[in-house]
Amino acid sequence: MAIAAQFVFLLAVSCSLTIMPGRTEASPSETHGPIRIFSDSEFTAAKGVRSGTGTATDPYIIEDWDVSVGTTDGIRIESTLAYFVIRNVAFSGAGLYGYDGVSMAMASNGRIDSCTFQWVDVGVRGVSCKNITVSSSNVTDCRAGMRFDTSQDIAIKGNVVSLCQFGAGYQSSYRCTIAGNRIDNSSEAGIYLESSTDVNVKANVLENGQAGVQLTQSSIVIIHHNNIINNTMQGSELQGSGNYWYDPSSSEGNYWSDYGGQDADSNGIGDISYVISTNQQDRFPLMTRFSDAPPVAVVSPTRPACNTNDPLLANASQSHDALDVQKSLEFRWDWNADGIWDTAWVRDTLTAHRYTQVGTFTIALEVQDSCCNVARTTATVIVEDVAPIINIQQESGAVVHTRTVTVTWQSSDGGSGLDNFEVVLDGGNATIFGNATTSAEFSGLQNGNHTITVRAFDKAGNNASDTITFAVDAEAGLTYPLLVAGVGVLATVIGLVTYVILRNRKRNTGNQ
Ligand SMILES: [Ca+2]
Ligand SMILES: [Ca+2]
Ligand SMILES: [Ca+2]
Ligand SMILES: [Ca+2]
């Protein structure tokens, strides 16, 4: 009796762990029938679209619905290029081998985020898709969590998949990632790749399944920083080539719960390889479970500025992550830090926004890594339309008798501050000087009239200029090097004459 009670208790704990909702937020209140979209023009309110215009920064948003999957797929999207997001939608079905939650064919530029799937065939399925992200979603009791065939540029990240036959997989797909997912209790395989190329499998937790990571006829697959725990078959590779069960750049592999090696030098890497098959090994097995760190969010410059005519080009390119290269990071912006994000998650590090009013604004940037970890930062933006003040110190109309001229100026900007100067001689190419420069020298000027313009730019892009005109009247043959030569000849002549006179005087004295 006591043993039975303990067993029930353990089972309850185990279940509460495996169905832990992770990062999903789905709590939809309205039901919606099946949604079928077969072209970009069908992203309409009648099809569940709540907002958006279909661009990368303002995608169509289908969100906050409760969709039951019965005699057809919950959401079917075909032959689209418009950007879309399916967010916070709960899909529930009648059972396996029926219909899918989200099913896409020849769809591009989509994101399925923070959705839940239960008792459907495949949570998210894609065939011949491009640039699709499935993130922060929760799949339980389905045949498979996510599956893409003949697709490219797909990211499956930060999802929880429990109690399904298969977790997440690709077939005949290219340039894809599976990162930061928790996949447990898979009765077939947690992660499965077939005939796929250039796939990054990182920082996933694969626990208590039949197979952890299963590769068939795939190449250039890199499997690293995963926690592979208590699966019947932890990893397998069949007929592959060019695959690595560790990260070749960092020389770090995966955590394997059944690894038996030691770490004599205490560097966190086991001293012998973890053997996957006769010709595949993790050469750098991790001694402890890996936990991915969030990225670092950076807005640069730290104090951006713009005017109301030109957009701010917000720059997140200095953001970084320990595990990800920059192109794996995503960014979103809130231009007034009111907590309402003004862009969707975008991959471009530069995003334009035009302010219609001058003032000082706080902007917020969030950066998401390939495991769905997020970092946030804020910066102050100065929006101002007042041009700098610039005054050249020399008077216009002067005549100078030299071929080298130095122009000096005074400049200031009370708003965003000076950024740089452009100096132009006689309408030629501009020479750029930094904001601390106060003079520029021109040499080798020809005789005649000249013009010099100095243009000051502030950090907001406003500018003002001052111009002087002057004439050069330097006589030919009297330029500096010739003058020195002339003086030298004269000195030599004087010296010779003096020498002759003195010698003649001596000779005359000696003759006396
Ligand atoms: Ca070691
Ligand atoms: Ca990270
Ligand atoms: Ca906002
Ligand atoms: Ca200004």
Number of structural domains (the chain) is 4
Task: Check whether residue 357 and residue 463 sit in a common domain.
Answer: no
Distance 410 CA to ligand 4 centre (A): 15
Give the closest ligand to the alpha carbon of residue 269. 1
| Ligand 2 geometric centre to CA of 74 (Å) | 32
pLDDT value, residue 504? 56
Q: How many CB atoms lie within 10 A of CB 215?
A: 27
- Kindly list the averaged pLDDT for each block of 10 residues, start to end, along the chain of length 512: 38 34 54 97 98 97 94 96 98 85 98 97 98 98 97 98 98 98 98 98 98 97 98 96 96 98 97 92 98 97 95 97 94 96 96 97 97 97 97 95 96 96 97 97 96 98 97 68 41 51 52 42
Structure tokens at 37: 């979209």
Task: Pick the ligand that lies closest to the CA of residue 259.
Answer: 1
Same domain? For 160 and 245 the reply is yes
Between the CA of 457 and the centroid of ligand 4 the distance, in Å, is 8
Residue 292 falls within a domain, yes or no?
no
Q: How far is residue 202 from each of residues 31, 119, 127, 140, 144, measured CA to CA in Å?
A: 36, 27, 23, 21, 19
Same domain, 106 and 241: yes
Q: Which ligand gives the minimal distance to the CA of 333?
A: 3
Closest CA to 86 of 40, 136, 130, 127: 136
Cα–Cα distance measured from residue 279 to residue 61, given in angstroms and rounded to the nearest whole number: 47
Global pTM reads: 0.82
Judge whether 93 and 72 are in contact, CB under 8 Å: no
Q: How far is the CA of 363 from the centre of ligand 3 (A)?
A: 8
Judge if 242 and 327 occupy the same domain. Answer: no
Last residue in a domain, options 282, 316, 342: 282
What residues have CB less than 8 Å from 267, skipping those under 6 apart?
Answer: none
Residue 293 lies in a domain: no
Question: Does residue 93 sit in the same domain as residue 145?
Answer: yes
DSSP 3-state assignment of 358? Answer: coil
pLDDT at 94: 80
Q: Are residues 118 and 186 in the same domain?
A: yes
Q: In this structure, are 125 and 39 located in the same domain? A: yes
3-state helix/strand/coil string of 246-315: CECCCCECCEECCCCCCCCCCCCECCCCEEEECCEEECCCECCCCCCCCCECCCCCCCCEECCCCCEEEE
Predicted pLDDT at 473? 94
Residues 406 and 361 in one domain: no
| Residue 194 domain flag | yes
Kindly list the distances between the CA atom of residue 155 and the CA atoms of 115, 351, 369, 464, in Å, as whole numbers in the listed order.
Answer: 15, 22, 11, 48
In 10 A of CB 274, how many CB atoms?
A: 25
CA of 303 to the centre of ligand 4 (A): 14
pLDDT at res. 278: 81
Q: How far apart are CA 236 and CA 279, in angstroms?
A: 11
Say whether both 337 and 310 belong to one domain.
yes
Distance from the alpha carbon of residue 334 to the mean position of ligand 3, in angstroms? 4
Report the CATH number that the domain containing residue 312 is assigned in CATH.
2.60.40.10
Please check whether residues 237 and 362 belong to one and the same domain. Answer: no
Ligand number nearest CA of 411 is 4
Distance 250 CA to ligand 1 centre (A): 14
C-alpha span between 124 and 159 (Å, rounded): 11
| 6 and 80 both lie in a single domain | yes
Domain that holds residue 399: 389-472
pLDDT of residue 14: 35
Instruction: Return residues with CB closer than 5 A to ligand 1 (ion).
Output: 263, 265, 267, 269, 271
Is residue 126 in some structural domain?
yes
Task: Say if 195 falls within a structural domain.
Answer: yes
Q: What does the pLDDT read at residue 10?
A: 36
The reply to whether 33 falls in a domain is: yes
Dihedral pair phi/psi, residue 505, rounded to 5°: -60, -45
Q: Which ligand is located closest to the Cα atom of residue 418?
A: 4
Residues 418 and 276 in one domain: no
